[in-house]
């Protein structure tokens, strides 16, 4: 006899056609799978009732792949073949990773790093797929059928390569990915539905390996991401590492081999977890060289050791708050996500910063998976009305290069997806028939400081005077974050377009650094922009005056011609300097010097137009 | 005759209704579909139809339409666990034959 779940009114599935869908939190430290049954989202446990699956994969000697707690036990005895925190390697190259602290044998291959194990060379995608396979099997057993799809969560700052790697891992595990969902957004979904609350929320997600902060606006069942920020290299693991370093220092240990490192790291983690609810803990373990370590660490010591790690989370919060244009008073609630937020020192600092007690009523380890399951349930079609429409944002501004190497932003950072924006540009030179469109990403004013995404040419523009062509450039970013750019000359309908993946190959660090650089160099960027703009306008007037001289120099006498030519030379000379004000002054002088010439030309062209025509032919 | 819920089933239904935040009760029904002719349906109820019959068992309102009632009158709904799976089970005295999986039946 099959077991039935309660459906929404009118949404009962036909026999054998239940739309089974799950949400998966593929975490750095632990992974979870959750589903919605009879309208309630809950995390699925294994046969022992354990819901957290340690994200550890062990390649055993007999060729068996072990995942989870059993694999974790091999961490100390067989570190080279036991892969932990593989999420940190997803979509990354060797150059992105600090390999000095890691016990693995790495191999670089086609952009993404690989790990040598006894089962052969494994990519992070394959390792992650092993974790997903276990979760899939668990879900299918618990739900009694095949899954039609899954929502998998990723950190908000995952770039395209990392997202793609996650999708590949799912495909390798035989999962159909409905959608990748940002972890903080998933957490908001879980809380938003459970509490049916409206307002502006901050999601503080300190996971095992990453820190993300997101500011979300909840209203009428719609979540809008106002801003996201984070630190890709900060997580609960770093707190373990602080204790680990403290042990090395306090016990005056020499550098350890891989086995001892693992052992001390897991002892450090145990100590951290114990200190969440206790005043002190004892760390004792036997090193491989026979040395015995026996130390006691108190909660105060631990808080002091990690104070700067906790403080480090505040800077991304400030940036996100600034991006969203909000102050502390606007925040209606702070949601804590990730096991590391159980640490009392973190809850305290967050409470002090936001002047309110953070929300912790859902299990911080499960909240992301619960939200993902709710979203998966909607996407599977088990809800009659789309109560939830999730809006994501683009992490960095998208724009194009304009004359003089300036970046013109078309879609600004934190615009909600999907989005389409168009802007009109024009030609710079008379008779220009082609235009090169250079698509860039970043917050800086100069193209050289931004990341180049794509280039394409719009050809076949009919020859016109400079500034007469109207080229409409449209940027479109779809719900999956895929950018396409099209350019069209309006009078002739000539068109060209290109599809680009906006954040391809951009590491989280690069994004963070690019953002940081744009804040630090705002002033320098502004003056660089003004200087370039002044040069461009000077260049434009010089070439206009030259063209006019070529055509109509006969209208004025030689002295006047040479006076104008002198002014052009003078301005051209000023343009080579970095003096913005002098360039502006030079442009003014040239304008002034050509006033008479311009008047004469105007008269001449009017009389040309009127010559030989009867009065009634002239339309006034 | 009537439709009843076991205490376990009633507790679960109450939990689910509370989590959902709205709903009058639980609708039991049958659809003419499936490999053995009929299939059970189990849904939350937001609005009642004129011809519906309402029962109450262990504090939960059970709503059935007259067409379904003839097939499931006397049914007890239970909530059980089978391995990792868990869900509701119809114990229907009218059933003569079921398909292997038990999702559909004949009377």
**What pLDDT score was predicted for residue A372?**
93
A271-277: which pairs have CB atoms within 8 A and are 24 or more residues apart?
A: A271/A243, A271/A297, A271/A302, A272/A236, A272/A239, A272/A240, A272/A243, A272/A302, A272/A343, A275/A299, A275/A302, A275/A343, A276/A342, A276/A343, A276/A344
Using CB atoms, which residue from A7, A44, A196 is nearest to B42? A7
Test B44 with A4 for CB contact under 8 angstroms.
no
Q: What is the pTM of this model?
A: 0.62
Specify whether A462 is located in the same domain as A570: no
Total structural domains within chain A: 4
- Residue A584: both structure tokens together: 């502006």
Cα–Cα distance between A424 and B87 in angstroms, integer?
59
Sign, CA torsion B96/B97/B103/B107: negative
Q: Is residue A481 in some structural domain?
A: yes
CB B28 within 8 A of CB B52: no
Test B84 with A5 for CB contact under 8 angstroms.
no
Please say if the pLDDT value at position A58 is more than 60: yes
Cis upstream peptide for A418 (omega within 30°) = yes
Q: Is residue A131 in some structural domain?
A: yes
A448 DSSP 8-state letter: G
Q: Which of A356, A388, A420 finishes a domain?
A: A388
Chain B residues within 8 angstroms (CB to CB) of chain A? 12-13, 15-16, 19-21, 26-27, 29, 31, 33-35, 39-47, 80, 82-90, 98-99, 101-104
Instruction: Spell out the residues 6+ positions from residue A189 whose beta carbon is closer than 8 angstroms to its own.
Output: A223, A371, A372, A374, A375, A388, A390
Cα–Cα distance between B38 and B33 in angstroms, integer?
5
Predicted complex: ipTM over 0.95: no
pLDDT tens-digit profile of A382-400? 775 555 555 566 767 888 8
pLDDT tens-digit profile of B56-76? 999 999 999 888 888 888 899
Q: Is residue A154 in some structural domain?
A: yes
Specify whether A377 is located in the same domain as A427: no
Please say if the pLDDT value at position A150 is more than 90: yes
Domain that holds residue A483: 398-513
- Residue B49: both structure tokens together: 């139809």
Please say if the pLDDT value at position A34 is more than 90: yes
Specify whether A293 is located in the same domain as A269: yes
**What pLDDT score was predicted for residue A334?**
92
pLDDT tens-digit profile of A486-525? 888 888 888 887 776 544 344 555 556 666 666 666 677 7
Q: Which of A486, A513, A540 finishes a domain?
A: A513
Helices (H), A144-257: 160-172, 183-195, 236-250
Residue A61 a catalytic site member: no
Region A143-153: mean pLDDT is: 90
- Residue A331: both structure tokens together: 């925040």
Specify the CATH number for the domain of residue A64.
3.30.420.40
Confidence of residue A222 (pLDDT cuts 50, 70, 90): low
A17 touches chain B (CB under 8 A): no
Specify the CATH number for the domain of residue A614.
1.20.1270.10
Cα–Cα distance between A160 and A92 in angstroms, integer?
11
**What pLDDT score was predicted for residue A364?**
93
A3 touches chain B (CB under 8 A): yes
Please say if the pLDDT value at position A13 is more than 80: no
Residue A388 C-alpha, separation from nearest chain B C-alpha, in angstroms? 14
A residues 240-299 closer than 8 Å to B (CB):
none
Q: What letters, b where the CB count within 10 A reaches 16 and e where it falls short, cover B15-37?
A: ebbeebeebebbbbbbbebbebe
Task: Please state, rounded to an integer, the average pLDDT across all residues of chain A.
Answer: 83
Give the CA distances from residue A435 to residues A467, A485, B47, in Å, rounded to whole numbers and listed in that order. Answer: 13, 14, 62
Confidence of residue A557 (pLDDT cuts 50, 70, 90): confident
CB A378 within 8 A of CB A193: no
Cα–Cα distance between A170 and A136 in angstroms, integer?
10
Test A37 with B45 for CB contact under 8 angstroms.
no
**What pLDDT score was predicted for residue A612?**
63
**What pLDDT score was predicted for residue B38?**
76
> Of how many residues is chain B composed?
107
Q: Which of A472, A490, A513 finishes a domain?
A: A513
CB A217 within 8 A of CB A230: no
pLDDT tens-digit profile of A176-212? 988 888 888 889 888 864 455 578 889 999 987 778 8
Residue of chain B minimizing CA distance to A144? B85
Q: Is residue A288 in some structural domain?
A: yes
- Percentage of chain A surpassing pLDDT 90? 24
Lowest mean pLDDT among A319-333, A411-425, A542-556: A411-425
Specify whether A553 is located in the same domain as A406: no
**What is the full DSSP assignment across A205-228?**
EE-SS-EEEEEEEEETTEEEEEEE
Phi/psi at A218 (5° precision): -110, 125
Q: Is residue A562 in some structural domain?
A: yes
Q: Is residue A25 in some structural domain?
A: yes
Specify whether A172 is located in the same domain as A286: no
Residue B1 C-alpha, separation from nearest chain A C-alpha, in angstroms? 23
**Residue A458, class by beta-carbon neighbours within 10 Å (0-12 exposed, 13-18 middle, 19+ buried)?**
buried
Give the CA distances from residue A603 to residues A465, A554, A586, A595, in Å, rounded to whole numbers and listed in that order. Answer: 20, 14, 26, 13
A residues 47-86 closer than 8 Å to B (CB):
47
Specify whether A536 is located in the same domain as A582: yes
**What pLDDT score was predicted for residue B33?**
64
Lowest mean pLDDT among A17-21, A330-334, A505-509: A505-509
Specify whether A613 is located in the same domain as A490: no
CB A158 within 8 A of CB A508: yes
Specify whether A545 is located in the same domain as A504: no
Specify whether A413 is located in the same domain as A454: yes
pLDDT tens-digit profile of B4-51? 999 999 999 999 998 888 889 999 988 876 555 678 889 999 888 888
From A25, A46, A130, A160, the catalytic residue: A25
**What pLDDT score was predicted for residue A66?**
93
Cα–Cα distance between A178 and A150 in angstroms, integer?
6
**What pLDDT score was predicted for residue A517?**
63
**What pLDDT score was predicted for residue A384?**
56
Give the CA distances from residue A40 to residues A43, A357, A366, B12, B18, in Å, rounded to whole numbers and listed in that order. Answer: 10, 26, 14, 10, 10
Specify the CATH number for the domain of residue A459.
2.60.34.10
Residue A505 C-alpha, separation from nearest chain B C-alpha, in angstroms? 41
Instruction: Spell out the residues 6+ positions from residue A360 whose beta carbon is closer than 8 angstroms to its own.
Output: A336, A341, A347
Specify whether A30 is located in the same domain as A153: yes
Q: Is residue A450 in some structural domain?
A: yes
Q: Which run of H or of E encompasses A173? A: none
Specify whether A552 is located in the same domain as A509: no
Specify whether A572 is located in the same domain as A597: yes
Please say if the pLDDT value at position A329 is more than 80: yes
Region A420-449: mean pLDDT is: 84
Specify the CATH number for the domain of residue A283.
3.90.640.10
**What pLDDT score was predicted for residue A127?**
94
CB A240 within 8 A of CB A272: yes
Cα–Cα distance between A412 and A400 in angstroms, integer?
12
- Most B-contacting residue of A4, A8, A46 (CB-CB within 10 A), to test interface: A4
CB A388 within 8 A of CB A375: yes
Q: Is residue A561 in some structural domain?
A: yes
The residue with tokens 């500011």 is A215
**What pLDDT score was predicted for residue A345?**
93
Instruction: Spell out the residues 6+ positions from residue A364 whose beta carbon is closer than 8 angstroms to its own.
Output: A336, A337, A338, A339, A341, A342
**What pLDDT score was predicted for residue A8?**
83
């Amino acid at each position: 006899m099959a077991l039935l779940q309660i459906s929404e009114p009118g949404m009962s599935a036909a026999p054998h056609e239940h739309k089974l869908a799950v949400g998966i939190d593929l975490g750095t430290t632990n992974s979870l799978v959750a589903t919605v049954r009879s309208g309630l989202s809950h995390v699925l446990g294994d046969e022992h009732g354990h819901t957290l699956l340690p994200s550890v994969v062990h390649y055993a000697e007999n060729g068996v792949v072990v995942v989870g707690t059993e694999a974790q036990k091999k961490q100390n005895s067989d570190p080279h073949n036991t892969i932990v925190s593989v999420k940190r390697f997803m979509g990354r190259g060797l150059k992105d990773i600090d390999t000095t602290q890691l016990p693995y044998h790495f191999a670089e291959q086609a952009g993404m790093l690989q790990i040598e194990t006894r089962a052969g060379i494994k990519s992070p995608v394959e390792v992650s797929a092993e974790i997903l396979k276990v979760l899939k099997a668990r879900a299918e057993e618990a739900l009694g059928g095949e899954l039609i799809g899954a929502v998998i969560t990723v950190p908000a700052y995952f770039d395209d390569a990392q997202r793609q790697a996650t999708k590949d891992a799912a495909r390798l595990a035989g999962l159909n990915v409905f959608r990748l969902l940002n972890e903080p957004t998933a957490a908001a979904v879980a809380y938003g539905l459970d509490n049916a609350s409206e307002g502006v929320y901050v999601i503080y997600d300190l996971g095992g390996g990453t820190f993300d902060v997101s500011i979300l606006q909840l209203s009428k069942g719609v979540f809008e991401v106002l801003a996201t920020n984070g630190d890709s290299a900060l997580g609960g693991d770093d707190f373990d590492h602080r204790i680990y370093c403290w042990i090395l220092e306090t016990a005056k240990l020499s550098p350890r081999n891989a086995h001892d490192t693992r052992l001390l790291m897991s002892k450090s983690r145990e100590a951290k977890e114990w200190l969440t609810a206790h005043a002190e803990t004892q760390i004792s373990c036997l090193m491989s060289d026979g040395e015995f370590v026996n130390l006691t660490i108190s909660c105060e010591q631990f808080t002091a050791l990690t104070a700067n790690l906790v403080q480090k989370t505040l800077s991304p919060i400030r940036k996100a708050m600034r991006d969203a244009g909000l102050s502390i008073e606007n925040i209606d609630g702070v949601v804590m996500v990730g096991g590391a937020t159980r640490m009392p020192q973190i809850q305290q600092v967050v409470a002090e910063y936001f002047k309110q007690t953070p929300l912790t009523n859902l299990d911080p380890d499960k909240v992301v998976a619960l939200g993902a399951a709710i979203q998966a349930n909607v996407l599977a079609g088990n809800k009659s009305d789309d109560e939830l429409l999730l809006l994501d944002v683009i992490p960095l501004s998208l724009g194009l290069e304009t004359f003089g190497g300036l970046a013109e932003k078309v879609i600004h950072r934190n615009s909600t997806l999907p989005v389409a924006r168009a802007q009109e540009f024009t030609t710079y030179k008379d008779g220009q028939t082609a235009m090169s469109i250079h698509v860039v990403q970043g917050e800086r004013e100069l193209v050289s400081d931004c990341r180049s995404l794509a280039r394409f040419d719009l050809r076949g523009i009919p020859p016109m005077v400079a500034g007469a062509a109207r080229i409409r450039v449209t940027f479109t970013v779809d719900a999956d974050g895929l950018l396409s750019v099209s350019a069209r000359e309006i009078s002739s309908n000539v068109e060209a377009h290109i599809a680009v993946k906006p954040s391809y190959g951009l590491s989280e660090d690069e994004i963070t650094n690019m953002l940081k650089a744009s804040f630090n160099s705002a002033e320098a960027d502004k003056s660089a922009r003004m200087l370039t703009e002044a040069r461009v306008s000077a260049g434009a007037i010089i070439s206009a005056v030259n063209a006019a001289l070529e055509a109509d120099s006969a209208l004025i006498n030689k002295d006047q011609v040479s006076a104008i030519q002198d002014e052009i030379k003078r301005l051209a000379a000023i343009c080579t300097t970095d003096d913005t004000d002098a360039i502006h002054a030079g442009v003014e002088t040239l304008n002034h010097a050509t006033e008479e010439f311009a008047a004469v030309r105007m008269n001449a062209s009017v009389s040309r137009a009127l010559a030989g025509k009867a009065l009634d032919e002239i339309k006034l | 005759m009537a439709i009843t819920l076991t205490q376990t089933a009633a507790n679960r239904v109450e939990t689910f209704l509370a989590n959902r935040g709205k709903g009058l009760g639980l609708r039991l029904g049958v659809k003419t579909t499936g490999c053995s002719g009929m299939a059970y349906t189990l849904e939350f109820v937001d609005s009642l139809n004129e011809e519906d019959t309402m029962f109450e068992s262990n504090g939960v309102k059970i709503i059935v339409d007259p067409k379904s009632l003839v097939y499931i009158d006397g049914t007890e709904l239970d909530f059980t666990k089978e391995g990792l799976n868990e869900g509701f089970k119809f114990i229907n005295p009218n059933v003569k034959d079921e398909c292997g999986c038990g999702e559909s039946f004949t009377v």
